Amino acid sequence: MSRSYRQPGVVLTDRHFTVPLDHDDPDGETIELYAREAVASDRAGQELPWLLYLQGGPGFGANRFIGRQAWLDRALKDYRVLLLDQRGTGRSSPATRQTLPLRGGPAEQADHLTRFRADSIVRDCETIRPVVTGGAPWTVLGQSFGGFCTVSYLSLAPEGLESAVITGGLPSLHAQADDVYRAAYPRTERKVVAHYARYPQDVERARRIAEHLLSHDVVLPNGYRFTVEAFQSLGLMLGTSDGSHRLHHLLEDAFVRTADGIDLSDAFQEQVQALLSYAGHPLYALVHEAIYAQDARPTAWAAERVRAEFPQFDASKAVKGDAPVLFTGETVHPWLFDNDPALRPLRETAGLLAARTDWRPLYDPARLAVNEVQVVAAVYHDDMYVDTTHSLETARAIRGLRTWVTDEFEHDGLRAGAPRVLDRLLAMARDEA
């Protein structure tokens, strides 16, 4: 049953849908999807075109805005918006350490999770679209992984799209996980070097923390094993507009003098565990490398294997010498499933997914080459999370796609630059810019 309620300037309606778990077996098991409909208060009774928002990730539910925050304010001027919790996330049927054992053992869990990639998400969208729009095509706004899903949408069901707007999410059509991470580590290093240039005092702070973690077994209050590799993974923050500043503030309060000597402060540990825990989005860790798998080659913990090609990321060698400790970025590693209590029960499941060799293609280059949907994309120069070269190659491969390449924003430009980013892209989609 749908229920509507109000926040400042917006009317919201909870929407619930039932879709097949496996769209190749439409009469089989089903799962539930949740989405939040949003419409401007002064236009609630009007017939408006629909905009479907696909969140980044994978593994995150849609934004929980209060009123008309961020880019939503701009979207509500023209659209009725559907904020979809993609399968396995938010209020849709969840996939977590608590729910996955209902599927059976690790093998059954891994089989289940193969249905949580972009192709299944697109088919979910096409299943619910007739219910939402009455059959009319809609505009899709895809942020980051949501952009990957949008390119799959253009490949699998372009008839469902009026137009497509992509922000920071043009994937390579052909690159495998190894290729993605081989391109990512040098970008990450550039971000770390830029951070240290802005905050040179953080070089010594990071070294002190790394030295402490290499010589102590640290367990955070939530049970997370805080290793030096986990500390380095905080570099994920450097891909956002304010991430460098937030990382700096985090590092400056790391230590406190205690009766037993210098130790990591409770305040620092509390912040760190909130940043590192996957309790709220375990699906991200489970299927992240699988979003790059498109053939019989296993992902086989690509980020961990490729990291060995970049020895400058070895923190133990850095602290023994005079090199700075380098942070890492958007990578998933086997040790995550040892360190994080939210992931430990899923370690074997993750290993089976990493070994899998029956992945299906997510994109159709031939169909994209004759695309007729109006597509626009913001490509952020030197985006830490999505390789710019890969994005521009894909832009050239999709017929009619127009890009806005900018170094004004980081990967979170849709959030940090709203409403300017969405306003410009919508104007481009209408040939007004």
* Three state DSSP letters for 163-186: EEEEECCCCCCCCCHHHHHHHHHH
The answer to whether the predicted template modeling score (pTM) of the entire model surpasses 0.95 is: yes
**Quick one: pLDDT band at residue 212, thresholds 50, 70, 90?**
very high
Mean pLDDT calculated for residue range 343-351: 98
pLDDT at 2 over 80: no
Q: One of 24, 27, 322, 358 is an active-site residue; which one?
A: 358
pLDDT at 384 over 70: yes
**Quick one: pLDDT band at residue 369, thresholds 50, 70, 90?**
very high
Q: What value does the mean pLDDT of the chain take?
A: 97
CA dist list (Å): 216 to 263, 267, 384: 10, 18, 31
Three-state SS at 107:
helix
pLDDT, residue 433, reads 79
Mean pLDDT calculated for residue range 40-47: 96
Mean pLDDT calculated for residue range 399-408: 97
Q: pLDDT over 70 for what percent of the chain?
A: 100
Q: Is 245 a residue of the active site? A: no
Structure-token match 């491969």, residue found: 397
Alpha carbon 416 to its chain's center: 16
Distance CA 159, CA 190 (A): 41
| 433 or 140, higher pLDDT | 140
Q: One of 92, 144, 244, 277 is an active-site residue; which one?
A: 144
Q: Is 22 a residue of the active site? A: no
Burial 199-212, CB ≥16 within 10 A → b, else e: beebbebbbbbbbb
Q: One of 120, 387, 411, 412 is an active-site residue; which one?
A: 411
What is the C-alpha end-to-end distance of the chain, expressed in Å?
41
In contact, 292 and 386? CB cutoff 8 Å: no
The contacts of residue 400 (CB under 8 Å, 6+ apart) are: 371, 372, 373, 374, 375
Q: List, in order of start, the domains of the chain with CATH numbers.
A: 3-173+363-429 (3.40.50.1820), 177-355 (no CATH)
Distance CA 154, CA 163 (A): 10
Q: Is 423 a residue of the active site? A: no
pLDDT, residue 1, reads 60
pLDDT, residue 197, reads 98
Distance CA 222, CA 270 (A): 9
